[in-house]
Amino acid sequence: MDFIQTTYLARMRNNEHYQFMSDVANAINKATPAALQLDSVYPVFTAALARLNATLLIDQGSATTEQITAMDVTRDRTWSALNERMKSSLLSPIEAETESAKAVKRVLDLYGNVRNLSYNEESAAITNLVEDLEKPQNAAHCSTLGISGWVAALKQQNLDFQALIDSRNIELANKDSADVKKVREEIDPVYQNIVKRINAQVTLEIGTAVTETFIRELNQRIKYYNDTLAARAGRASTAQADTPAEPVTE
């Protein structure tokens, strides 16, 4: 059984940090704190997460959050429409439609049910899915099924969703960084305590199948965030190398 991998919390932006902690909470709820033997520490974690949420002022009643939620529902519905058209076309009496449905199914199956992913992961999955469906060989199949317009709509909805996320990120960047830093320093040790407890189960060989699934899914999320941080660091290094040094003036 694998251990929970290291994630670089201090390097995350405020919105990424909050989203990651929310992903952790969702994963624990899915497995249940009892099954993971986290009954004593999980309430401390959720309390700290609530304080972080309040500090960032990401309340469900905010205009931006409502727009983000609505756009997420919209793109989920479009994905569902594509998926349902594909499934119904598999039963088509027209052979060309059946063959095209099989081809589109192979593409959709690569990404699974994107609606179950976190915001960032779903955005990335939809971006890649649309790129695959727009390839000439797949675009022809989409045309046969009459879903080319839906693919274009999903692409635009995903772009609009990401624009809303970027807008909210700018808002978050303008919040009192001192307060956010303080709350992050409260929740990070609690998260690390959770990691130690789960990894101890692996070391002692007392982890269950539920524990193994939790670790695997959490590591997938950690890889996503670590890759994001690595890509950003790479871009920053490139930009720094390409920028001439300014002369020092007294």
Q: Which residues contact 23 (CB under 8 A, 6 or more apart)?
A: 118, 218, 221
By C-alpha distance, which of 222, 225, 75 is closest to 163? 75
Report field, pTM of the whole predicted structure over 0.75: no
CB atoms within 10 A of CB 249: 4
Q: Which residues contact 234 (CB under 8 A, 6 or more apart)?
A: none
Structure tokens at 160: 């609009």
Residue found by looking up tokens 């959709």 in the block: 108
By C-alpha distance, which of 233, 175, 241 is closest to 11? 233
**Tens of pLDDT, residue by residue, the chain (250 residues):** 899 999 999 999 888 899 999 999 999 999 999 999 999 999 999 999 999 988 876 544 456 788 999 999 999 999 999 999 999 999 999 999 999 999 999 999 999 999 998 888 999 999 999 999 999 999 999 999 999 999 999 999 999 999 998 887 776 666 556 678 889 999 999 999 999 999 999 999 999 999 999 999 999 999 999 998 998 887 655 544 444 444 333 3
By C-alpha distance, which of 227, 208, 206 is closest to 216? 208
